[in-house]
Chains A and B, each alone.
Chain A
Amino acid sequence: MIADGLHGLGTFLGSAGALFVWPTVGYMLIGTLLGFAVGMLPGLGGAATMALMLPLTFSMEPLAAVAFLLAMHATCATAGDVTSVLFGIPGEASSAATVFDGYPLTRMGQAGRAIGAVLTSSLVGAWFGAFCLALAVPLVRPLVLSFGPPEVFMLAVVALTTVAALSGKNMAKGLAMASLGVLLATVGEDIATAQTRLTFDSLYLLDGIPVVPVVVGMFAVPAILASMLPARSEIGDQPVRINSWLEGAKDTWRHKGLVLRTSLIGAYVGLIPGVGGTSAQFIAYGHALQSSKTPEKFGKGSIEGLLAAGSVNNSKEGGSLLPTVAFGIPGSGAMAILVSALIITGVQPGPDLLTTNVDVTFGMVWTIVIANLLCVGLCLLLAKRIASLADMRQTLLVPLLLVFITVGSFTESFRFEDILLMVLVGLLAFWAERLGWPVAPMLIGLVLGKLAEANFFLANNIYGEPSAWLTRPIVLILAVIAAISLASPLIRYRRNRRRARVDPTAKARPFSRGDIVLAAFFAVLGAVAFWDVRTAELPTSAATVPQSISFTLAALSVGIAISGAAVVVRKRMSTDVPESGGASAAVAGDGRDGGGSTIVALREKTAEAEEAEIVEAGPRQLALVVAQFLAFILGLWAFGFLLFAPIFAAVYLFTVAKTKWWTAAIWGVLVWAFLYYILWGLLSLRLWDGAIF
């Protein structure tokens, strides 16, 4: 037995040696660099790029092909975290949670620390995931087999309960947003019944609402619109301290228990086929929230939240390789491509990879370890450069960011409608955030709603009825976790409300006229959806969720609208307008309207900072900025990327950012060169050509 163990160890170490042979190591390096570049670009990444690289692997050796693709994929996640932290724009859908706390930290002048924290926790997560891959190989079968539809459903419920925690003081609004998310998840064809729901006869909606444009829209659009506003005063604007990334690394050490736990969650959840990394991040984030001593900081710059998000993003890579390797069942689109690459090079995924070809599996482990180390090293080396981008005058970055987000949304599935979706979601998120409606629950609802619904009905199809499967051991354990996860924020919420009567700073944002309008909008949405599903006469299993959730959305929204109206009316009627505490004073239109209300255009303030970042922007300026944004989209649609984007960049920089004309022209040419040579030439990405020519 010792001989066996030594032999195994020998193979493990030997495969590292195999990796450092030319050209294998060369491919790994190229893959790392590509992943780094692609990961930075919001939206672009994951399956699409891997598919483009696939033909290149035809002539490679198995280990080289795997090293190339896996290095690219593994570093995408790590590099994506950097854009999330610095710009508030997630590089991939599974990096969304790093924005929650990473971006606020940057706004507080702690970009260096945030980058350091997210990168080191990513490294730990990646290594942990790889470690799990190496060790758990004999255990993977029972692990995967024990997670059937009932267990996946309950896992999705656990993740959904993080909504309550993330809503914080604005519980009703958060729940409404989550309901909206779940409702959007039901749009499209219901696989189990082949019935279409809420598609309104659109072929585009038949496949459902895609996640990437929604994520990009939710985070990027409000950030970019805010950047486009002229900032009159920015209190608390400190220079970005880049040499403090070590501080972030120390944070990882300080919270090592948390980082290891969230890495474990990522690896394990990544292991379960069908759940996916986007769900894993919310489960891990929720756990960090639960176990934290300062939960109220989450979403506003909590280092714990950032560490959790960073590590889970990478540990899931190692985890999701397990079912791919052990069963040949890819956990995601990107894994499917890896499977193809393996098949092309003659390696059959399945038990062989754990026995005769185990050196390939170990090679994967080493690739993850080394590629991430290289990527983190590269990021930290360039950290100063990259972070100084965040320091740049915001308006200078705008055209570049606009190009990135539209390219990212478009290349998801090459449909212009995805850009439109991103715009709609973005504008909605912008509006909602201003009014204090948390948008994260909408994303959680969208991603997990589908998972929960599909598995609930599948479980019923298999076992007959809920009582038959709700009593399975793992399901029960998860149900208890879900209950705790739901209960604690609710208890805290109650406690806060009680405290609010005494201490005004603990109160939620007061209602305003804007709230009523938004709530009314959601109520109408809910009603329309409810009516549409009702009249479609769908079978029960297809109709239950959309009907009940649209009803919930409408009911919650009506409730919010009515409370809002009551508050506004009461304020109008009383002569004394009560001050509602420092933190909320700077927030939008609290009844003191009459044209030109004070509007907060930037993100949440920290719990510590009493003074908020107040950007005074009247409705006219806001409308102007939205108009500029829409003009870009319209121009893109009419004239295509290659023609319009460079011109817009040049014109915008010259007229709005007030650069010198030749700087604007050079940037225009650079944008064109990027689109033409890199995206079209190198990656053969066929961008939108424009409807007119």
Chain B
Amino acid sequence: MSRNPSRRMFVGGLAVVIAATLSGCINKPAETESSDGAFTLQGKTVEILVGQEAGGGHDTTARVIARHIGQYLPGNPEVIVRNMPGGGDKVMANYAYTQAPADGTSVGVFSVAVPHYNLIGEGEAEGVRYDASKFKWFGSPTVTTNVLLVHTRTGITKDNLAPLTEGQGVRIAQRSPGDGPHLVQATLASGLGWKFHTVFGYEGERRLAIERGEVDAIVTTWESLEDEERDLIDEGVLLPVVTVGLSDAPALSAPELSGVPKASDLFKNASPGSQDLLEVILTRYGFARSFGGPPGLSEEAVQAYRTAFDEMNADEDYVREAEPLYAVVPSDGATVAERITKYVTADPSVVAPVLTQIKSDSQ
């Protein structure tokens, strides 16, 4: 080896660089207490977990939140989004429950499926390793409302719902048995005796299916309804038959939905059991894309996040950016926690009929 001093200096310098690199790379436990013991995220990076791949609705929601919430959290941390797709949100929820650090640097945007798995009793065997009611909830950024849309070629009108109650019923397009829209359909079927002939397997083009004449009805989300569908409703080609959601949802004031009955109205004459069922189902609409963190979060951290979330929702810049993507109708953390607990601890016998309906639809 050369005795060249400049080369030795180079070696030394390189060694220092490498050592610095390595020490920087080794993870140290995150310190989230400032000198006076108060909860702070100064100098930290917060990751918002999302159980879906980049580009989907939840991912976009998380990214909008990530852009704005940092300034309202103590210490003004940097906030990024971490995608953790897999198992229909189970991978992300499991991670958030069992492995994510509970120091406030790891939080998530959870889909409605997460509490739902608890409701239908899935456990270790199905890959569910969490209890949704034990997550610490900071709030929900939005509210959704489902609508049953039918094509007028079925002969259904506001006053004539006969095709829904007679014979084979109405042909409806669905994606997968037990998913959100199908749950709505099954609730209407089991509670009101409506009949549907379900065609499963549609990935993204349920609306095209109606246009092609393959089916006559779909359950869709009003807030993500497109101009084209709205036009078809205005022209009288598509008819909203019933809305399913929170009774004070802003969507209900849309002109196309005036005079359209809510599910709660129609269920007034249903059996008590069905009314209880509807009440449970309606809770779902109050925790869409809920924002929360691991069970081990300190009270202080939870409070900090809840306050930050509320403040963010009052921020005009946030509202302006988010509004085109989703209806900004926030619910605070305490309310969301209450709703989720109510959902998850619902009496199984109340929910049983809709699960039976789901099963029979998929036969």
Contact = CB atoms under 8 A, between A and B. Distances in A.
A273 B63 contact: no
Interface stretch (B32-40, B82-90, B248-256, B344-352): B82-90
Contact of A206 (B86, B179, B200, B362): B86
Interface string A191-216: 11110000001011011000000000
A329 B205 contact: yes
Contacts of A328: 226, 228
B199 interface: yes
Given A344-B321, A344-B324, A462-B215, A415 B86 contact: yes
B17 A669 contact: yes
A349 B86 contact: no
B203 interface: yes
Interface string B195-238: 00001111111011101101100000000001110010000000
Contacts of A413: 53, 83, 85-86
Interface string B328-363: 000000000000000000000000000000000011
B295 interface: no
Interface stretch (B18-26, B132-140, B144-152, B257-265): B18-26
A51 B214 CA distance: 33
A22 interface: no
A296 interface: no
Contact of A686 (B80, B178, B202): B80
Contact of B53 (A333, A454, A646, A669): A333
A145 B53 contact: no
A273 B208 contact: yes
B27 interface: yes
B200 A51 contact: no
B167 interface: no
B26 A693 contact: yes
A348 B226 contact: yes
A203 B128 CA distance: 10
Contacts of A149: 214
Contacts of B22: 643
B27 A351 contact: no
Contacts of B47: 686
Contact of B176 (A194, A327, A414): A194
A413 B178 CA distance: 25
Interface stretch (A168-176, A334-342, A368-376, A623-631): A334-342
Given A352-B227, A643-B26, A274 B175 contact: no
B321 A191 contact: no
A140 to B, nearest CB: 12
A462 B17 CA distance: 65
Given A203-B86, A207-B85, A192 B27 contact: no
A194 B361 CA distance: 12
Given A327-B208, A343-B324, A336 B55 contact: yes
B325 interface: yes
B103 interface: no
A194 B362 contact: yes
B54 A47 contact: yes
B67 interface: yes
Contacts of B177: 193-194
Contacts of B54: 47-48, 50-52, 333, 337
A458 B63 contact: no
Contacts of B5: none
A189 B90 CA distance: 14
Contact of A340 (B55, B80, B200, B201): B55
A194 B362 CA distance: 9
Contacts of B83: 48, 413-414
A144 B85 CA distance: 30
B30 to A, nearest CB: 13
Nearest to B14: A665
A461 B87 CA distance: 26
Contacts of A206: 86-88, 90, 127
A327 B228 contact: yes
Interface in A22-58: 47-48, 50-52, 54-55, 58
A667 to B, nearest CB: 12
Contact of B25 (A207, A340, A643): A643
B307 interface: no
Interface in B177-201: 177-179, 199-201
A473 interface: no
B212 A145 contact: yes
Nearest to B56: A336
A333 B226 contact: no
Nearest to A453: B201
Contact of A684 (B80, B88, B125, B178): B80
B67 A348 contact: no
Contacts of B17: 669
Nearest to A684: B80
A52 B127 CA distance: 29
A337 B56 CA distance: 8
A148 B214 contact: yes
A556 to B, nearest CB: 29
A344 B325 contact: yes
B13 to A, nearest CB: 10
A47 B54 CA distance: 7
A638 B55 CA distance: 30
A329 B203 CA distance: 11
A350 interface: yes
B86 A462 contact: no
B91 interface: yes
B55 to A, nearest CB: 5
A536 to B, nearest CB: 14
Interface in B38-85: 47, 53-56, 59-60, 63-64, 66-67, 80-85
13 contacts: A48-B53, A54-B60, A148-B209, A191-B175, A191-B176, A194-B177, A206-B90, A344-B321, A351-B228, A662-B14, A684-B80, A686-B82, A693-B26
Given A54-B63, A462-B209, 20 more contacts: A47-B55, A50-B55, A51-B63, A145-B208, A145-B212, A189-B88, A191-B201, A194-B176, A203-B94, A329-B208, A340-B55, A343-B325, A344-B324, A413-B85, A415-B85, A415-B91, A643-B26, A669-B18, A669-B21, A672-B21
Top 6 A-B pairs ranked by shortest CB distance?
A51-B54, A192-B201, A458-B201, A203-B87, A192-B200, A194-B177
